[in-house]
Structure 1
Amino acid sequence: MPDTRISKLVQMWISGWVVSRGSSDPIDEPWGWTIDVGQPRHVARHVLPEPSEADVRKIVAETSAPGTWLKLFAEDQTVLPWVGPGWRLDGPGFLMTCNLAPESPEVPAGYTLTRWTRGGVSRVLVRTLDGHFAARGQIAHAGSRAGAHAVVDQVATADEHRRKGLGGLVMRTLQNTAYEAGARTGVLVGTPDGRALYSALGWTAHAPMASLWYEPSDAAQ
């Protein structure tokens, strides 16, 4: 039977992702959603919460535009045989959620933290005392006040500042900002590296996500 819970979580994720990235509203499809992103290397994406071989093969057959992405909530090895030449596999992802709660993170010595909100997106920037980039992240507010949720996006830490607690600082600050704005559920798709951090902060993984983009050999020249 279809896993309606995963479909609902994926829908929550994309409803915040489009706010975070300023992309088009999701377009309903029989198999999920299409989103126009409008970047040269990320023209559009097709999101399938429960991908079937038939649906993926049909999308692939109808795709000719480089920079088209597939976000398939399944294991890489399951979906890779369904696509043909020109489709390139990105790193795996994990759909995760958490119950938001008030947070009061402390900024480690030697760093400063700046945060701001604009257009439904709250951003956090961590820098060294002399202004060098150290870490960042953002969270998009989505959903009605009664069922508000927030979607974490683009969390990154500079290599030379890893293992200093900055990822946790960014996440806790984002989570607290979303909680103060009325959200009670956090949603994200994390990388394998990020999954360890998010799990330590109380996030739960629900499904894997395979990520592929179309770049035929002639477009890569």
Structure 2
Amino acid sequence: MTDDRETAIRWVRGWAHVRDLTVETVDGWPLVHVDSASRDTEIVCVDPGRSAFATLAEHVAGDARAMLTVLADDLDPYRDVASGLRVDRDDETFMTAPLTPSESSLLGGGSPRWLVDGSRATYCVDVDGRLAAEGSVGVLGTDAVFDRIETSPDHRRRGLGRHVMATLTSWAMSEGATAGLLVASVEGAALYRSLGWDAQSSVLSLMGA
């Protein structure tokens, strides 16, 4: 469990780095100041046990802009403890992979563009002047944390997601990254598994209500 916790905390730090967010600590776990349309703060913990989780839940209870996220193999014990909180997402997966170079050509006349800020990068593909796919990655040490890998509905199942991941991976490796970390949606997890990523734990996110 120590290794699982350390790996997940590395993801949190890297995810905050990608989005340029501030991280504090609450009861030994990171609290990220997300300041987004969906939430102001997010506490992230890794299978802390029912008692510790109940204490963490007190920090977000009653605050509709506060999120509590837990990563664990079995989420059921935490659902039971989370009385009074609202389930925001319960179908995501924390995944990891050793980074390896791969090629994925940009097909269909897409136009690539980059936004690079030090050890953070966003890669986009435009088709006919409109955004078709995009993704971001941040490198901290030897970790590459991938974030917001998205393909617009009109351009799915054309290999754009695979192309974005391959391109971002190559960039991250050029920055010294050797390990990949991300949290995947149901749809994204299928792509990442096909690329050799492994599921490490399930993810439950709750909002104070």
Mark yes or no: TM-score above 0.5.
yes
Deviation at 1:51, TM superposition (A): 2.7
Runs of 4+ in 1 over 3 A off after TM superposition: 75-78
The sequence identity of aligned pairs, in percent, is 26
SS at match of 1:25: strand
Give the one of 124, 148, 158 matched to 2:152: 158
Are 2:51 and 1:57 equivalent residues in the alignment?
no
Deviation at 1:152, TM superposition (A): 0.2
CA distance 1:26–1:131, shift in 2 (3 Å): same
Distance 1:44 1:190 in 2: 20
Segments of 5+ residues of structure 2 without an aligned counterpart are none
Q: How does 1:1-221 map to 2 (within 5 A)?
A: 3-27=1-25, 29-30=27-28, 32-39=29-36, 41-63=38-60, 64-74=62-72, 75-128=74-127, 130-143=128-141, 148-214=142-208, 216=209
The 3-state SS of whatever aligns with 1:182 is coil
Cα distance change of structure 1 residues 69 and 180 upon mapping to structure 2, 3 Å threshold: same
In structure 1, what is the Cα distance between the partners aligned to 2:90 and 2:131?
Answer: 24
- 1:71-98 residue CA offsets vs partner (Å, 9 max, x unmatched): 1012443322211234233142211111
How does the TM-score come out when normalised to structure 1?
0.87
Task: State the one-letter code of the partner of 1:162.
Answer: R
Structure 1 CA distance for aligned equivalents of residues 47 and 99 of structure 2:
27
Q: Kindly state the Cα deviation for residue 65 of structure 1 after the two structures are TM-superposed.
A: 2.4
Q: Unaligned regions of 5+ residues in structure 1, if any? A: 217-221
* TM-score, length-scaled by structure 2: 0.91
Higher strand content, 1 or 2: 2
